[in-house]
A and B are shown apart, each in its own frame.
Chain A
Amino acid sequence: MIDMKGVYKTYPNGVTALNGVDVHIDQGEFVYIVGPSGAGKSTFIKLMFREEKPSKGSIVINDYNLATIKERRVPHLRRNIGVVYQDFRLLPRLTVYENVAFALEVIEESPNQIRRRVMDVLDQVRLKNKARFIPDELSGGEQQRVSIARAIVNHPQLLIADEPTGNLDPDTSWEIMHILEEINSNGTTVLMATHSQEIVNTIRKRVIAIEDGQIVRDEARGEYGYEI
């Protein structure tokens, strides 16, 4: 599913964010990415859907080599990857329904398909009754569920979540985690960067720790491992 070999990333300003990363992640895995701020977690995540290009090394996701992929193929890569952010990144002027439908409009799905799949996925995140609301009328947890719905409405093989619970209170965080687990149990690979010790130590999954741009720990059922 994901294969990174000897990946380096140096930004134009000279900062080296990743310093030789090798990692292999199988289809269907649930992986936490942990580590102190500025250690390279965000860069690691951004490389996955080609928001950034590696300076050196190869990244292969679903047969796409991200180091050599042509610019015009990037949209197709992204259609197979769902992304969820800490700040939700919803379109403020569109309703919940329209926000989710947007991901399907982009790939020119038929209106009937769009209606069916959006309602299905809103049901899955338990927001069917809020389809006509705009993001500002929802709580943080609800907004995050909309962004998850948008991320998975294409049935991507990989879901990337960059601190999805970072802005949420504990109860809401658990709710989001259950949804992510559910998605994972349907066979979608989930990659989640997080600072939450509680979550990592409770829902035990594979943990990859990144420090100073390198993987310092990779355990099958790991712990958070940092003091707060």
Chain B
Amino acid sequence: MKFRTLGRHTREGSKSVWRNGWMTVSAIGAVTTTLLLVGVFLALMLNLNEIASNVEEDVEVKVLLDLTASEEQIDNLREEIEGISEVGSITFSSKEEELNQLIDSLGDKGQAFELFKQSNPLNDAFIIKPKDPIDTVDIAEKIEKMDYVYQVDYGEEVVQQIFQFNKYARTIGLALIIGLVFTAIFLISNTIKITIIARRKEIGIMKLVGATNGFIRWPFFIEGLLLGVLGSIIPIAAVVTGYYYLYYNLRDNIKFEFIELLPFYPFALQLSGIILAIGAFIGVWGSVMSVRKFLKV
């Protein structure tokens, strides 16, 4: 295709956006509604995802060692644990370090534990980070069976619940977004179909004088693209503004360490990009789909 032909298609495509009046408005409306929902879901999902992976990253397995274990036996155990392929890193934490940490974490009340420094009742421990948080339970179960292991600690309940929740949240969110996108494609292709029925004769004449299907399809492609892009303006503005307020108001009010929203920049930019891309996709797909039928002349 020659460059000036692309220019012609662009002119024709934009002309029909203008000419089709209310049909254009209704097509853009369909895209706008969908993208608003998709945008809110996306923002929600991506943040949930972020929170989830923050939590996942914090997951660790703590292996308390038998008090009777000798240094050599501890070294052997270390090698054995390193032999588990899912293990990412392993660090040794002596009982003195464990006690110090405990005291630190309790702040002022920790003073009371200072006495234990004389006769430390805690165990030496290994802190293990899995390569993939999802393997946490597996690793813990394997280590439990090893010798000189006093206790394995990984917050069973919490970890498993988080993993479950994440899995469902992702699947449901994705299904919802896909469902919405297809509904919008269907709506837009129906709207454009109505305008095409009026232009059916035109398409017939184009084919008569020897226009290829591609030549006929291009203006519709551009028209769809424009509808999609126009339809994504309001959702982008709304979602970005909404997120801006949410982020700056909520950031200071949420005190949980692991709940941290994605920073406004670059997240707002990424989100806008995704919404725009989905809008363009919906418009182009809906438009091109609806011409197909009329090309068989």
Contact across chains for B209 and A78 when beta carbons are under 8 A apart: yes
A75 touching B212 in the complex, CB below 8 Å, given contacts A105-B8, A111-B4: yes
Q: Are B208 and A72 in contact (CB under 8 A)?
A: no
Q: Mark B1-37, 1 if CB is under 8 A from A, else 0.
A: 1101100100000000000000000000000000000
A26 adjacent to chain B (CB < 8 Å): no
The CA-CA distance from A91 to B211 in the complex, in Å, is 14
Indicate with 1 or 0, residue by residue over B183-205, a CB within 8 angstroms of chain A CB atoms.
00000000000000000011011
Known: A51-B297, A111-B4. A106 touches B209 (CB 8 A): yes
Query: Are A91 and B8 closer than 8 Å at their CB atoms?
Result: no
Q: Is the CB of A108 within 8 A of B205?
A: no
Measured CA separation A79–B210 after assembly (Å): 5
* Residues on A with beta carbons closer than 8 Å to the beta carbon of B205: 89-91
Task: Give the CA-CA distance A103 to B211 in the complex, in Å.
Answer: 8
Name the B residues within 8 Å of A103 (CB-CB).
Answer: 209-210
Which residues of A sit under 8 angstroms from B210, Cβ to Cβ? 75-79, 103, 106-107, 154
Check B297 against A89 for contact (C-beta < 8 Å).
no
Give complex CA distance A63, B205 in Å: 24
Determine whether the beta carbon of A150 is less than 8 Å from that of B209.
yes
- Whether A102 is near chain B, meaning CB under 8 Å from some CB there, is yes
Residue of B nearest to A103 (CB): B209
Q: Is B215 an interface residue (CB 8 A)?
A: yes
Q: A146 CA to B253 CA in the complex, in Å?
A: 74
Among all A-B residue pairs, the 7 with the closest Cβ atoms: A79-B210, A78-B210, A103-B209, A106-B211, A75-B212, A75-B210, A108-B2
- Which A residues are within 8 Å of any B CB, using their own CB? 49, 51, 72, 75-79, 83, 89-91, 102-103, 105-108, 111, 150, 154
16 residue pairs from A and B, CB less than 8 Å apart: A51-B297, A72-B213, A75-B210, A75-B212, A78-B208, A78-B210, A79-B210, A89-B204, A89-B208, A90-B205, A91-B202, A105-B8, A106-B210, A106-B211, A154-B209, A154-B210
